[in-house]
Amino acid sequence: MASRGTGMGKGLGKRNGNGRGLFRRALALKANETLDDPAVRGLRYVARTLSDGSVRQYGEFRYKHPATGKWESKGLGSLPAWEQVQSEVEHYEVEQSALLPDGAKLIVPPIDDFAFDQIRTEARKITGLVRQGLDPKLVAGVQGLTLEQAIEAHIAAPRNDGPLSPNTVKQYRKLAKLYLSDHLKTPLRRLDQATLVTLLDTINKERGPSASKMAGRLIRAAWGSAQFTDPRLPTFPTLRRGTLAGRPARKAAIRPSQLPKFFKELDKVKGRRKDVWLFGLMTGLRPTDLRSVRREDIDLKGTVLHRPAPKGGEERAFDVPLSCEALALAERVLRSHNSEWLFPAGKRSPIGGEPGPIGNIKPRAGEFSMEWSPHDLRRIYASAGAAVVTNGYHLKALLNHAQPTGDTTSGYIGFEADDLRPSQQAITDRLVAKGLPV
């Protein structure tokens, strides 16, 4: 603390030149006003209006994030009331006076030092962490990382295949907000077995088993990342068998032996949905990718389909060849309209302008004798591919599935669309032989 002389026995309110001015100005801030601290660069005092109409005054420190280079801000606690600081100074005077020899003069630090000491100390800690290249928001405190910090640490953790996609990050944070909001500020060390079991059971009752499993798996993943930062964090608590297990892979609703009947019923359907389904059967696209194909994504001369932002984000962008039948369908559909989408919606946008991509592509009640979903088109494609594609790497690439982890050979292989063309055509030929109405 900086020191400045003051005589004993004078009243606190009568002191001059001891730093009281900055504190008084900080307490006098109006809503949405700020005041810079001259002693610590980047530190300021802020007044904000709360939802109940009251005004909260607190310290706020701005710093440049060591990894992203973006400016971040962190609240450092509320400003103490005048009475609180006055009491602290008086206690200091009494305590220190008892230690002084007779006749000695007490040196009392400025009032600002009493008022802002804790806030300034926290600000200087952040500055030190940033200089070391550490993210201040992910540094474990006395009780270790909180669940929220651990989730952010998991999101920011380096990965061999690159950072998480924006969609995945968005889903993680949404999941945390929806199901874990009451525990985000809780240190992981306090989330013992009993607490986690109760938490997941509550989510299961209120939101269902899928939500419970997703929340539990997120906690477990965050826990694993937190162990690299907090060496005192124990291993993840043991839970009941099956608590975090995902549901088993769903089998195709339509078996290969049922395809001839399915294709005959599909051929009777009229309209744009039939073309969507046929294109899905010949490309194996996920339903979201299938509906969102743009005119510009199709290279008619190169007979290639480009998917710029599939599941996994832009980092997983890929090109697939189109079989002769799929290309003919795409050319016919594109000639039938001028939309930017391969499969535009049938109606104009409710807010005006051109229609967007087609929406619901589910089969209607009574159209088919068997129940199926749009994702079953992809399963039919995969089953046909498994029957005729002899190169397993080809089928995974066509489906935009990750190659086997730890497979050294897959790390050497780089496919282009033309490399996959024979396998793509073989899959369509297999479906045509089963009665695909193209």
CATH code of 362's domain: 1.10.443
Q: Tell me the pLDDT tens digit for each residue of 188-208.
A: 888 889 899 999 999 988 888
Scan for tokens 């009451």, then name that residue: 182
**For residue 87, is it within any domain?**
yes
Shared domain check, 118 and 68:
yes
Shared domain check, 199 and 130:
no
DSSP 317: -
Query: What share of the chain in percent tops pLDDT 90?
Result: 32
Residue type, 296: E
Residues recorded for the chain: 438
**For residue 384, is it within any domain?**
yes
For residue 218, which phi and psi values (nearest 5 degrees)?
-65, -45
User: 121-130, 215-224, 374-383: which has the minimum mean pLDDT?
Assistant: 121-130
Q: What is the DSSP string of 212-233?
A: HHHHHHHHHHHHHHHTTT-TT-
169, 155 Cβ separation under 8 angstroms: yes
Task: Dig out the tokens for 9 from the structure.
Answer: 């026995």
Rounded Cα distance, 139 and 74, in Å: 13
Average of per-residue pLDDT across 402-412: 76
**Model-wide pTM > 0.75:** no
77, 122 Cβ separation under 8 angstroms: yes
Rounded Cα distance, 255 and 252, in Å: 6
Boundary-marking domain end, from 177, 211, 226: 226
Boundary-marking domain end, from 109, 138, 167: 138
Q: Tell me the pLDDT tens digit for each residue of 389-404.
A: 988 899 998 998 877 7
Q: What is the DSSP string of 307-331?
A: ESS-TT-GGG-EEEE--HHHHHHHH
**For residue 194, is it within any domain?**
yes
Q: The domain containing residue 427 runs over which residues? A: 256-433
- Three-state DSSP state, 108: strand
Shared domain check, 407 and 303:
yes
Shared domain check, 417 and 291:
yes
DSSP 437: -
Shared domain check, 201 and 81:
no
